[in-house]
Amino acid sequence: MPNLRTAYLIASGLAFALSAYLFYPSAATLDARWDTNHEAYSHGYYILLATILLVIRQWRHFKLSDFSPYPPALLALICGCLAWLVAHIGNIRIGEQLMLPFIALCLVYLLAGKFIGQRLTFPILILYTVIPVWDVLNPPLQHITTMVSSSALNLFGVAVYIQGNHISIPAGNFVVASGCSGLNYLLMCVFLSLIYGHLYLHNLKRQLLMLAAGILTGVICNWVRVTSIIAIGQITEMQSSVINDHENLGLVVFGIFTIPLMLFGRYLEIKKDVKTPDARHLAPQSPRWLAWPILAV
């Protein structure tokens, strides 16, 4: 029944479009954190692009599968929308943002089916790496960075005095501010590790090892960056341009640290042929399917 299938696809597409329109104001609030320089979430639009590319990458699965409703997802969708509504009424912006990927995933499961939903789970959930809920990590990351950097400087014979997140050396004073916590490098390394594990590692244990390596790489990368900046300040008597503008140095250090991370991923990679998925038989079409896009709306 090709006409019925076409009608269902159109109705589902309209449901997705209406949902996107209704939730757009909440999604637009992310722009304030994504469209900035030197911010922990300034790579947000790149992650969004990666999500789109990962979805397109599943096109071959879409062609071999049928679009059929998955009714159990309706309850999850209702719960997600209610949670969003509570956050909206309470003017809790982060709560609204947290619900957006979940609601999108519930819609995919409900209208496209479990088979397609499973293949789009990772591309959609990866957006959580740039939802600004990770700011809670800033204080502990600042404290740890301060402690590690001062200890490293002591090893090289530099006298260090610490007060909170302030580091004093004979040549001058430094502050490990929230922007120096390394949250941006941590989130980027986590993203790279997750993407690498998703694309090339086909074993949960290896994927978790890759994620752990990414977390460790992001943290150590920032330790080296901050320690290097302070050391340069001591050597140059605070005259180096790196002291006031150290973003380029951070990018260089980050680029260097991603090399061993990728090599570790290559070491973990399982070499095996990826089989083309078998064609799935189309499920019998039913006029009752058209009720699910209406229920979704």
Cα 85 to Cα 74: distance, rounded to the nearest angstrom = 16
23-69 pLDDT, tens per residue? 999 999 998 889 877 678 888 899 999 999 998 888 777 766 667 88
What's the DSSP call for residue 136?
G
CA distances from 32 to 83, 129, 292 (A): 23, 16, 35
Residue range 10-22: average pLDDT? 91
Decide: 142 and 217 in contact? Cβ < 8 Å: no
Model pTM score: 0.84
Q: pLDDT digit string (tens) for 263-295?
A: 999 999 865 544 444 445 455 556 676 677 777
- Cα 215 from Cα 192, distance rounded (Å): 10
Contact 81, 93 (CB under 8 A): no
- Count CB atoms within 10 A of the CB of residue 124: 21
- Cα 113 from Cα 106, distance rounded (Å): 10
Per-residue pLDDT, 271: 57
How far apart, in whole angstroms, are the C-alpha atoms of residue 82 and residue 71? 18
Looking at the chain, the whole-number percentage of residues with pLDDT higher than 70 is 90
- Reported as a single tens digit per residue, the pLDDT across 167-223 is 888 888 888 887 788 899 999 999 999 999 999 988 889 999 999 999 999 999 999
- E strands along the chain, which residues? 161-163, 166-169, 172-175
Are 228 and 152 in contact by the 8 Å Cβ rule? The answer is no
Q: Cα separation of 263 and 19, whole Å? A: 41
Q: How far from chain centre, in Å, is Cα 89?
A: 26
